[in-house]
Each structure stands twice: as C-alpha cells, then as structure tokens.
C-alpha cells in the first residue's frame, strides 16, 4: 500500500474520463486515470468505453469528416497525457469511501490507491442480445449498433430496411429516429404488446415505413462480405415465440434497444446513492454525489442522453467541481 494520496483519481476512460483528466491536469491536480482492462468487469466494459464499439462518429463537433470511436478516444488520451495525466492499465474493483477522506480504492491487482477526490466515469454498458455474430459485427462496423442516434444517419444505413430489437420507450425513440433514413423500420418484439408509453408507440406507428413484428426473438445475425470484402449484416434469423418457427428478415442494419446497465457494480456497497434506474444520483446542478469528494460524470449518472458530447461536458464539470472541493478543503 502506497502512502501517497492523489488529489484526483478518475475511474473510466471514455469521453467523460478523459475530459475530466484534461481539465484536472491543466489545473495542476496531477490526475491519475484508471483506464480499465480489456475484458468485461464489474466496473468498466473496456478501455475507451462504448465508443470502442462505434466505427464512425459524425455528430461530435470538430470532426467534419467524422472520426472512428477508437481513434477519438486515442486522441482524447493523448491530449490528457500531454498535460501530465498519468494512466494506469488497471481496473478499480472495490472502493471504501470515507466521509472524511481520503478514499481507498483497490485495483484488480489487489493494489491500494488513496485519493482525496474520485471521479466516477465508468459509463453504462448497452444490454446486448448475447449472440456471437451480434458482437462481432458491432465491433467491426458491420451494421449492428446499440445507438441509433449515434449511428443511424450513417450512409451505410440510408434507404435500407432496418430492425430495432426492443419494446420500451427507448426502442420506440430509436425506431422513430430511424424512420427518417430507412426504407422500412421493423420493431422486433418478443411479446404481443409493447411496453412503451402510448404516445411513443403512436409516434412510431404513425410513420408510413414503420412495422412491428410481434412474438419474435432474434436467434442469429447473418452477414456476408460487401463489395470491399468487409463483413456486413444481411439478415436476422427470427424465432416465433409461440410456434417456434424460424424465419429470416433481410435488413441492412440491426439496432439493439433493450436498455443499458450503469457500470456501478463495484460501488454498490460503498454508501453511494443511486436513482431508481440504478444510475449514480447527483446532487443539485453539480456532479457531486452524496459522499464528500466523490463526483460522477458521463453515462454512469445519465440515463437520458448517453452521448459522447454530453459525457465530455460533465467530465469538464466534474474536474472543476473536484478542483473547487480540493481548494475549499485546503488540499491544493
């Protein structure tokens, strides 16, 4: 165990984490970012967060030609490190938050880390169906996504039949957005009744290119090489939940909208407060949590927007909040 107490430790390496690091480093707070490990874990899905599954980001200001998610996160990291941010290829797996500080964190290598302030930026992981081909095509830009607002306007999806899996408000919102670009948008739902609010259902069903496939589940995602030899989705295999009958639906894209899970497993017993959806509960208009010196930024505290730019914005706020807290307690 090291006796060093860091001014700022940031847990997570998506847009929120790196933006917090940039601001904290420029304020001479010597931030340390625990980037996670390249596997599923209780806290972080993988270094870089959900953007590591996004091939083209076209809605982030400053990139007129677009940028790949992994490339964007690499650029964020380089900028943070340019100002002195230290990065650790470790995952924080447990915490002991102290109302009077410092806070004690434990890594996946059983190392102890002490910090006056902690910024949680671990994000929220999209809930996937769990199919091998689904994950493979999501990772290589083959037409499977968990965010229609992020990816739906890309040229590869325009004027093609698209499918959305889900039946809640999020699925309706995603599907309605896609109707602006797709030839047909199919909602694939495992029951005979949607869970979404009536107004969200009506908004989607009022579109001329909207269709619902009832009592269906996705059993597999089919693909083939395109003209450039890149593997892309061609169809989904469906199973009727009543008869067990299998069928194929030709689509040019699959959007999974069955919810997100905030990456908060490692802080569940820490005394931190959460909202009714399991996201970190923030106090007032700041990024402060109920524990002094602990702040949260990005999707781990945002069940509504879940965009790279909103995450980055709250990362900035968290760093400024941490700086003010440290100053108020004569720790800088």
Catalytic residues: 147, 150-151
Q: Cα–Cα distance between 125 and 256 in angstroms, integer?
A: 12
Q: Cα–Cα distance between 26 and 39 in angstroms, integer?
A: 31
Would you call 326 helix, strand, or coil by DSSP? Answer: helix
| Residues β-bridged to residue 212 | 187
**Cβ–Cβ < 8 Å for 224, 133:** no
Q: Cα–Cα distance between 264 and 138 in angstroms, integer?
A: 23
Would you call 293 helix, strand, or coil by DSSP? Answer: coil
Q: Cα–Cα distance between 168 and 117 in angstroms, integer?
A: 37
Taken in order 284, 290, 291, 292, the sign of the CA dihedral is positive
Characterise 75 by phi-psi region: left (phi > 0), alpha (psi -120 to 50), beta (else): alpha
DSSP letters along 237-301, please?
EEEETTT--EEEEE-SEEEE-S-EEES-GGGTTTT--B-TTSSBPPPTTSSB-SSTTEEE-GGGG
Residue 109: other Cβ atoms inside 10 A: 11
């Amino acid at each position: 165990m090291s006796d060093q107490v860091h001014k700022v430790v940031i847990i997570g390496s998506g847009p929120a984490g790196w933006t917090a690091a940039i601001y904290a480093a420029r304020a001479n707070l010597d931030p340390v970012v625990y980037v996670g490990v390249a596997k599923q874990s209780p806290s972080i899905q993988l270094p870089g967060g959900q953007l590591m599954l996004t091939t083209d980001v076209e809605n982030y200001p400053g990139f007129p030609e677009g940028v790949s998610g992994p490339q964007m996160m690499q650029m964020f990291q380089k900028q943070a490190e340019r100002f002195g941010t230290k990065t650790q290829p470790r995952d924080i797996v447990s915490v002991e938050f102290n109302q009077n500080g410092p806070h004690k964190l434990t890594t996946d290598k059983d190392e102890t880390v002490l910090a006056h302030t902690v910024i949680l930026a671990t994000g929220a992981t999209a809930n996937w169906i769990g199919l091998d081909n689904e994950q493979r095509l999501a990772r290589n830009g083959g037409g499977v996504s968990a965010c229609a607002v992020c990816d739906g306007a890309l040229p590869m999806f325009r004027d093609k039949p698209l499918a959305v899996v889900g039946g809640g408000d999020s699925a309706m919102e995603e599907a309605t957005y896609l109707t602006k670009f797709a030839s047909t948008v199919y909602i694939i739902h495992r029951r005979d009744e949607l869970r979404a609010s009536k107004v969200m259902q009506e908004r989607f069903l009022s579109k001329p290119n909207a269709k619902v496939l009832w009592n269906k589940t996705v059993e597999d995602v089919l693909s083939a090489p395109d003209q450039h030899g890149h593997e892309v989705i061609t169809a989904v295999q469906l199973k009727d939940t009543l008869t067990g009958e299998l069928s194929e639906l030709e689509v040019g894209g699959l959007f999974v909208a069955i919810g997100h899970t905030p990456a908060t497993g490692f802080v569940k017993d820490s005394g931190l407060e959460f909202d009714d959806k399991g996201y970190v509960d923030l106090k007032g208009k700041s990024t402060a949590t109920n524990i002094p010196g602990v702040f949260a930024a990005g999707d781990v505290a945002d069940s509504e927007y879940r965009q790279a730019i909103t995450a980055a914005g709250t990362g900035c706020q968290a760093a400024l909040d941490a700086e003010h807290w440290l100053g108020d307690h004569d720790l800088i």
